[in-house]
Amino acid sequence: MPNDEYKQERWNLDDLFPALDSTEIEEAINVLEADVASFEELRDRLSADIGQEAFVEALDQYDSMVRSISRLIAFAEMKFTEDTQDQVAQSFQARMYQLGADLDNKTMFFKLWWKGLEDDEAEPLMDASGDFQYWLEAVRLQKPHTLSEPEEKIINIKDVNGSVALNTLYESITNRYTFPLEVDGELKELTYGEAMVYAKSPDANLRKAAYQSILGVHEQDVPILGQIYQYRVRDWLSENVRLRSYNSPISVRNLRNDLPDDLVEMMLEICVENASIYQRFFRLKAAWVGMDKLRRYDVYAPVVKSEKSYTFAESAEIVLASFDKFDPKVAKLARKVFDEHHIDSEVRKGKRSGAFCLTVEPGLTPWVMQNFQGLTYDLTTMAHELGHAIHSLLADDHTALTQSSSLPLAETASTFSEMLLIDELLEQDPDPAVQRDLLFRQMDDSFATIQRQAFFAMFEKKAFELIEGGASVDDLTDAYWENLQTQFGDSLELNDEFRYEWSVVSHFYNVPFYVYAYAFGQLLVLALYKQYREEGESFKPRYLEILSTGGSDSPVRTLERAGIDVASPDFWNGGFQVVDEALQKLEAMPVEASSSNGKNDTK
């Protein structure tokens, strides 16, 4: 029985601040600025022979300032998320980003001093640092790419009105879009999230129309969105490759993720080598939906005509039940998000599209945002984002500097939580048709999370190369088209509108080369979930330890303790074997073509 207290609503941010114009915000800023001024007095006392006690005290001060600025920036970002067209929220977010840059500039001397120590000088201080140890280690990894203090300060100031401003501009432009679509004879103006519901409709014509509307609106602005991306890329290249001397644009992200370049390249190459698995899937899916060949419009087409819907309360209870069966402690942590009203699930014009989980600091329950519309996809999204929250809460005993895991492990709990949900749905309804539909959904999701993201990363690598050579926006569009051709081969019909799809992918703008972490995380979780099914209870402590580690150790060492060797090609190919096994189960089922897909105009 669903808990009626769980209602679709806007989140409550009172645990941060009452309102944008509250006196508490100005008081928090004043306290932070005083703390920064006090910390700056440490500059003249820093030396290689600083005592361990004084060093740890400085780390505690630094961590406290990080907590303070995190609260202010998180509040600003969530108010902007609520309504990206709110000019007051836009201005406040810009002000907080500037405050963050100022804080970084005034305290930069500490990290620069730390990077400048010789290894034998840093070692005893690191040994005394407790939970800060891996953060200190990660800071020193940046030593070869660190500039002088004046240069670093200029870059920080530049970013606020450069890359950060470009990202905000992109979000403001694209989140004001509405997408016209005729549904049942009525012309509707839809948000991106609403339009994407119809892109997964059982009606082939409606899928086509939805994608044409979404991509058509973006196509009109591609000359502008493309210029924003070009400037973003040039800024990344100028700073990181030319000034900081990174080997390549993606090496910047790899070092931040503490992953060797060759490991990431190996994973991406293995993803490309396994493209044939998904090409087989698309050929099989065409038969199930009653088509000779899928179009790109049909990649996420349902194999049955009707899509079961769920209320928000029902969805919450199903997701929480799946967590509870794994471990009641995990479910209890997830319930905190609902009980503290830290979830914004409403669909509103101007609200940011997509979904995310935002961790602010230890001691605060994370906030979750999604645009809930009652489909099974929304259940998996809920499980995914709550998985992120669980990950943070399990690592709640770490410092603000070491709570959040690095990107390669950031998707572990979220994707694992989705798989728990799917098992719960299968158990609730053991009908073979339900098993078939969930297997199709798993294949859809693994394509979206592994293969699609890996090819996104391959496009980013090519785009950076092209832009560095002076390529036009049209050249980027052509490169994306070639990327799609390699990804899909002859398994489906590529529709021309999709050459503009790259302009829809906000990660390209906001966090270059972030996307491969999704593929890393999904393949990792496939291996972990296989272990869970084989080992049962004995697996759980090992998995929970990975999550509880948070960002207090490197991803490679964290996984080594769990018996996983990410440097082995067998590990990555093993993940694809799990995908292939799911596909083989579908291939063994007699095809029952859906007439609703095939009867429509599929040209």
Q: Which domains does the chain have, with CATH numbers?
A: 23-144 (1.20.140)
pLDDT recorded at residue 375: 82
Average of pLDDT values for 139-155? 93
Question: pTM for this structure?
Answer: 0.82
603: pLDDT confidence band, cut at 50, 70 and 90? very low
pLDDT above 70 covers what percent of the chain? 97
Q: What are 177-221's pLDDT values in tens digits?
A: 999 999 999 999 998 988 998 998 989 999 999 999 999 999 999
Q: What is the C-alpha separation between 362 and 66, in angstroms, rounded?
A: 11
Which has the higher per-residue pLDDT, 444 or 3?
444
- What's the token pair of residue 503? 């302009």
Alpha helices in 470-539 (DSSP H): 473-488, 506-510, 516-535
22: pLDDT confidence band, cut at 50, 70 and 90? very high
Q: What is the C-alpha separation between 75 and 191, in angstroms, rounded?
A: 24
601 pLDDT higher than 50: no
pLDDT recorded at residue 435: 76
Q: Which helix (H) or strand (E) holds 154?
A: helix 149-161
Residue 307 burial by Cβ neighbours in a 10 Å radius (0-12, 13-18, 19+)? middle
Q: What are 369-395's pLDDT values in tens digits?
A: 999 998 888 998 999 999 999 999 999
Q: What are 74-85's pLDDT values in tens digits?
A: 999 999 999 998
261 pLDDT higher than 80: yes
Q: What are 430-470's pLDDT values in tens digits?
A: 777 767 877 898 899 899 999 999 999 999 999 999 999 99
Mean pLDDT of the chain: 93
pLDDT recorded at residue 349: 87
pLDDT recorded at residue 167: 92
pLDDT recorded at residue 3: 56
pLDDT above 90 covers what percent of the chain? 80
pLDDT recorded at residue 600: 43
Residue type, 233: V
602: pLDDT confidence band, cut at 50, 70 and 90? very low
428: pLDDT confidence band, cut at 50, 70 and 90? confident
Q: What are 264-289's pLDDT values in tens digits?
A: 999 999 999 999 999 999 999 999 99
Residues in the chain: 603
The residues, ordered by sequence, that sit 6+ positions from 224 with a Cβ below 8 Å of its Cβ are 173
Q: What is the C-alpha separation between 553 and 133, in angstroms, rounded?
A: 8
- What's the token pair of residue 264? 């990431």
